[in-house]
Chain A
Amino acid sequence: MEIIKFVRELKEGRVEGEITKTIFVSLATSLIIFAVVYYFRLRSIEGFFDKYGFYLFFSFLSYAVIIPSVRQVRSFKEFPCMTGMMIGMTIGMISGFLSGFYIGATNGMFWGSVFGMSVGILFGTWNGKCCGAMGFMEGIMAGFMGGLMGAMTAIMMFNDNLKAAGVIVFAVCSVIIFGLNFMIYKETREFERKHKDSTLFTIIWSFILTTATIWLMALGPRSVLLQ
């Protein structure tokens, strides 16, 4: 079966083989940045882990799932229209939804939506443009929708089982991203790799996303509901 071949490929040296390394580097970068910021600034905030620990941790996990896919898409640069649209839509939607959900849970609907849309549209268009205008458009639309939906879902579950929902949302999104990785693998098996991002790419993007998330969650503005 092809999925078994794909799982085997995750252990090899091809593009897919770098996914595990990228996840590890992204997670390690996020946690190191957090440790530094926590030591110098956040430890003075009373009940910090109670309030934000869960959402921060799942944000870091989300970025560790999204960044490898971005890297995988960038390795091949160009895709057929259908594939490119799927890439733009999936990455835009998932990155927007996850970041919107976790920021929405701590900062409210407005800031969750703004952050989710920004991340979703950025990654959606960046990756969707691999097939031209259609993928680009798909990235914008999916990022816009995902960011709004993520924050809205978090707010609507605020007084319900929000943390359990956070775990379920992350699990479902991870499966979708795994599906995207598999789809790209299937589409590009015969293609030559066109671009290779260094580890610095992962570190820089993890740094940007982690810093923005920590700043917004711990020091950013709140909605009425969360004051």
Chain B
Amino acid sequence: MKSSTIYIIGIIVVILLGGYFFLGNSGQVSGVKPSAGNSGENAQEIVIGMKNYNYYPNTIKVKAGIPVRIRLDSTVVGCFRDFTIREFGIHKYLKTPEESIDFTPTKPGTYTFACSMGMGTGRLIVE
């Protein structure tokens, strides 16, 4: 067998082995329960605006286990309306101030929220 053939086989083996170890565990969405949209009176209502080219307020505290409803008011424009919380797998374009994102955080911690392009960012602290 030619040495080049051995190297090609070696490359394939190394890629397969590396791929198995490195890509075997894909990131799982955790720490959140999706809500149906009618979270009721108990929901923690949050309205986010825009100030200095970023979300305002950009640090939000919520309680774990209680439904959260996030709305973006009319000052939020452009790609900032494409709201994401990556760790929770939340990504929604809130076309109007009436539209909302509903979810229930279950795991305390600090999570980053941002627009889809990462131009506006903030922190969601789940206590």
Residues of A within 8 A of B (CB): 10-12, 17, 20-21, 23-24, 27-28, 31, 49-51, 53-54, 56-57, 60-61, 155-156, 158-160, 224-227
Expressed in whole angstroms, the Cα–Cα distance for A159 and B4 within the complex equals 41
- 12 A-B pairs with CB atoms under 8 Å apart are A11-B5, A20-B11, A28-B10, A49-B25, A53-B23, A54-B22, A56-B22, A155-B118, A156-B117, A158-B118, A159-B118, A227-B110
Evaluate contact between A21 and B3: CB separation under 8 angstroms.
yes
B114 at the interface (CB under 8 A from A): yes
Evaluate contact between B117 and A27: CB separation under 8 angstroms.
no
5 closest Cβ pairs, A-B complex? A57-B22, A159-B84, A53-B22, A20-B7, A11-B4
Evaluate contact between A159 and B91: CB separation under 8 angstroms.
yes
Closest Cβ neighbor of A11 among chain B residues: B4
Mark B101-125 against chain A: 1 for CB-CB distance below 8 A, else 0. Answer: 0000000001010111110010100
Evaluate contact between B112 and A27: CB separation under 8 angstroms.
no
Mark B12-53 against chain A: 1 for CB-CB distance below 8 A, else 0. Answer: 001101110111111110000000000000000000000000
B61 at the interface (CB under 8 A from A): no
Contacting residue for A225 out of B11, B23, B27, B112, CB 8 A: B112
Expressed in whole angstroms, the Cα–Cα distance for A27 and B8 within the complex equals 12
Chain A residues, Cβ within 8 Å of B26: 50, 54
Evaluate contact between A53 and B4: CB separation under 8 angstroms.
no
Would you list which residues of chain B between 68 and 127 have a CB under 8 Å from chain A? 84, 86, 91, 110, 112, 114-118, 121, 123
Chain A residues, Cβ within 8 Å of B4: 10-12, 17, 20-21
Evaluate contact between B121 and A159: CB separation under 8 angstroms.
no
Evaluate contact between A159 and B116: CB separation under 8 angstroms.
yes
Evaluate contact between A28 and B114: CB separation under 8 angstroms.
no
Expressed in whole angstroms, the Cα–Cα distance for A145 and B117 within the complex equals 20
